[in-house]
Amino acid sequence: MLRRAPDKVRHCYARALTCRERSQVARDRTVKGNWLAMEDRWLALARRYELEESVDDFSAEVRRFLHRKAPR
């Protein structure tokens, strides 16, 4: 089932895109590298948020399953 990404994940991807775009117009290699490094950090944060959401979803599904098998 596909779900809409949470706001914080979309925000991270948007910031990563901005960093990528700025790196493409940067003339200085150091500045370009800094923008690309920042893009990588935003992407890593987005992936962490996605993993967190996935773990939360999995945990909720396990709780529902266990509740169906052994209701209190």
Q: Do the domain assignments include residue 29?
A: yes
Q: Do the domain assignments include residue 57?
A: yes
- pLDDT tens per residue across span 11-52: 999 999 999 999 999 999 999 999 999 999 999 999 999 999
Give the predicted TM-score (pTM) of the model: 0.76
| pLDDT score recorded for residue 21 | 98
Domain of 15 in residue numbering reads as: 7-69
Q: Do the domain assignments include residue 1?
A: no
How far is Cα 72 from Cα 56, in angstroms, rounded to an integer?
Answer: 22
Q: Do the domain assignments include residue 42?
A: yes
How far is Cα 11 from Cα 1, in angstroms, rounded to an integer?
Answer: 22
| pLDDT score recorded for residue 70 | 82
The DSSP output letter for 23 is H
| Helix H or strand E segment including 2 | none
